[in-house]
Structure formats: C-alpha cells, structure tokens
C-alpha cells in the first residue's frame, strides 16, 4: 500500500483471535461451575489456551496453564461469595441460581477474577482480551489489573468502568454507570497508581464518578448517585448531590 509516497507494510494481528478468546472465556467459566462440563471439556479448554498463547507468540504455555489451573478452586470460592453477596443485597434476586445464570454483573466479576489471575502470572494480551469480551457482553469494563476483594456485588453492570490500578476491598457494592478512574490521562503516568481505593463496606450508587490514585473512600461509606469525587472521603460518610454541591455527612 502506498501512503504519502512510501510503502507501508501491514502486520498481521490475527483479529479473528478475538472470537477464539471469547469462546475460550465462555468455556472456562462453564467449566468453573459445571463439574460434568469440566470433565467433558477441560482438555479442550487447555488446548484452546495453548493455541491462543501460540498465536500470541507466547512460549511456556504448558507451564502457564499448569500454574493457572491451580487457582481454579480458589477463584470458584471467591465467586460463590460474590453470588451470596448479590442475593443478600439485591431485593430483586430470588435465588442463587438466578445470580449465576442471569446476572451480568456476576458474569463480569467471573471473567475479571480469571483474567486478573492470568495477569498476575504475567500472561500478555490475553487478560485484556478476556476483559474486553466481558465488556462486550455485560457492559462492564473492568481492567484485569484492578484488585478486587471478597463478596463484591455489581448491580445492573451497564456502563461501569474500573481502571487498572483500582483497589476494591471486601463487601463493596456498585451500581450501573459507576466510574473508578484516573483524574488525568497521560502516558507518563502509566507506572503509578492512577485510580482510587475503595475500602470495605462501601456502597456506590448509579453514575457516581471517583477519580484519582490518591483518593480513598473510607470504609462503610455511601456514595450517592451522580456525584463526582476527586478527594478522599472519611469512613462512615454519606456523599450526595444537592444543587451542584457535594454534601458530606458523617454516618452514625
């Protein structure tokens, strides 16, 4: 191809691999929750993984799969806690089965816990592709680098963004449209903490935006809908919006 008088060579990035990763992710989650499915398809999932890594020019695929599958039972235990948290906190939830089979927020968390572990094993590209698959099917964009504690509940999921260096502790609930992001977007900030820390027991309601790597939302706080926060909030606070002003109130 000629462009401004020069020859430009296109590199093959195998875009069809996106479909393969989507199928791999679906099968992997099915294996986590269905013992029969695991016995029937576990070897196939491993073969998919090795094929994906080969196409990504990643060596030592066998070792990475062996390391990855060690964490399956721990990830499943964490996801069971997430499901219980959803039943406990959502009045619309009628059963655990409904959470596992019908809640997009739970599915997004499931993909995140798997992709996060792959990132910790230093697998390149694949964790981000898995998170983008989850984004496409649930509306929740959770970077695999985000650290998320136990009993995490996402309600509705649509429009949620959780940045790479976000830290979320235990028993946190967030609703649709929440952004946990960086206050600036600069490549020079890539190696520092850019996203907030959410302490245990926090509830963040719809369309709230929390920005900045130094921002800490204190434990047991409630962040109301539509607020924008760029500074730390003490524990047991309530933050709401009233006539363009953020109203801070200490909880009893």
Whether residue 146 contacts residue 165, with contact meaning beta carbons closer than 8 Å, is answered with yes
Same domain as 71, residue 38: yes
Same domain as 213, residue 167: yes
- Position 183 scores a pLDDT of 86
Location of structure tokens 């809640």: 103
Q: Which ranges of the chain have pLDDT less than 50?
A: 1-3
The domain in which residue 128 lies consists of 1-141
Whether residue 146 contacts residue 168, with contact meaning beta carbons closer than 8 Å, is answered with yes
% of the chain surpassing 90 pLDDT:
79
Tell which of 141, 169, 190 closes a domain. 141
- Position 199 scores a pLDDT of 98
Same domain as 234, residue 117: no
Determine the Cα–Cα distance for residues 174 and 152; give it in Å rounded to an integer.
Answer: 8
Same domain as 9, residue 113: yes
Same domain as 70, residue 180: no
> 240 pairs with which residues across the strands?
247
**Cα dist. 99→77, 80, 135, 161, 173 in Å?**
15, 10, 18, 21, 15
Strands 209-211 and 179-181: parallel
If one counts the domains in the chain, the total is: 2
Tell which of 118, 141, 164 closes a domain. 141
> 197 pairs with which residues across the strands?
167, 216
Whether residue 18 contacts residue 43, with contact meaning beta carbons closer than 8 Å, is answered with no
Same domain as 75, residue 160: no
Same domain as 31, residue 106: yes
Same domain as 179, residue 136: no
Tell which of 110, 141, 172 closes a domain. 141
Same domain as 156, residue 137: no
- Position 249 scores a pLDDT of 62
Whether residue 189 contacts residue 175, with contact meaning beta carbons closer than 8 Å, is answered with no
Determine the Cα–Cα distance for residues 213 and 196; give it in Å rounded to an integer.
Answer: 5
Same domain as 240, residue 172: yes
- Position 242 scores a pLDDT of 73
- Position 14 scores a pLDDT of 78
Q: Say which CATH number the domain at 2 has.
A: 1.10.3130.10
Strands 179-181 and 197-198: unpaired
- Position 2 scores a pLDDT of 47
Same domain as 105, residue 58: yes
Phi-psi region of 212 (alpha: psi -120 to 50; beta: other; left: phi over 0): left
Same domain as 18, residue 58: yes
Whether residue 143 contacts residue 131, with contact meaning beta carbons closer than 8 Å, is answered with yes
Question: Measuring CA to CA, which residue among 170, 249, 17 is closest to residue 233?
Answer: 249
Q: Say which CATH number the domain at 193 has.
A: 2.160.10.10
Location of structure tokens 């903490």: 193
- Position 192 scores a pLDDT of 86
């Amino acid at each position: 191809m000629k462009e401004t008088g020069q020859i430009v060579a296109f590199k093959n990035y195998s875009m069809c691999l996106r479909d393969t990763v989507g199928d791999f992710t679906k099968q992997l989650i099915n294996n986590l929750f269905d013992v029969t499915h695991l016995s029937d398809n576990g070897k196939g999932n491993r073969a998919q993984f090795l094929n994906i890594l080969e196409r990504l020019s990643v060596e030592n695929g066998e070792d990475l799969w062996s390391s990855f599958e060690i964490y399956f039972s721990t990830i499943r235990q964490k996801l069971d806690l997430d499901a219980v948290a959803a039943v406990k906190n959502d009045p619309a939830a009628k059963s655990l089965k409904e959470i596992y089979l019908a809640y997009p927020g739970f599915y997004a968390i499931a993909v995140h816990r798997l992709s996060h572990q792959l990132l910790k094993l230093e697998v390149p590209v694949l964790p981000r592709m898995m998170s983008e698959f989850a984004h496409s099917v649930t509306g929740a964009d959770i970077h695999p680098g985000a650290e998320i504690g136990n009993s995490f509940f996402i309600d509705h999921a649509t429009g949620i963004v959780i940045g790479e260096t976000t830290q979320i502790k235990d028993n946190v609930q967030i609703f649709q449209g929440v952004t946990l992001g960086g206050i600036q977007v600069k490549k020079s900030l890539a190696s520092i903490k850019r996203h907030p820390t959410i302490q245990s027991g926090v509830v963040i309601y719809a369309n709230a935006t929390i920005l900045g790597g130094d921002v800490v939302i204190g434990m047991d706080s409630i962040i109301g809908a539509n607020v924008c926060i760029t500074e730390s909030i003490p524990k047991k606070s309530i933050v709401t919006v009233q006539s363009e002003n953020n109203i801070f109130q200490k909880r009893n």
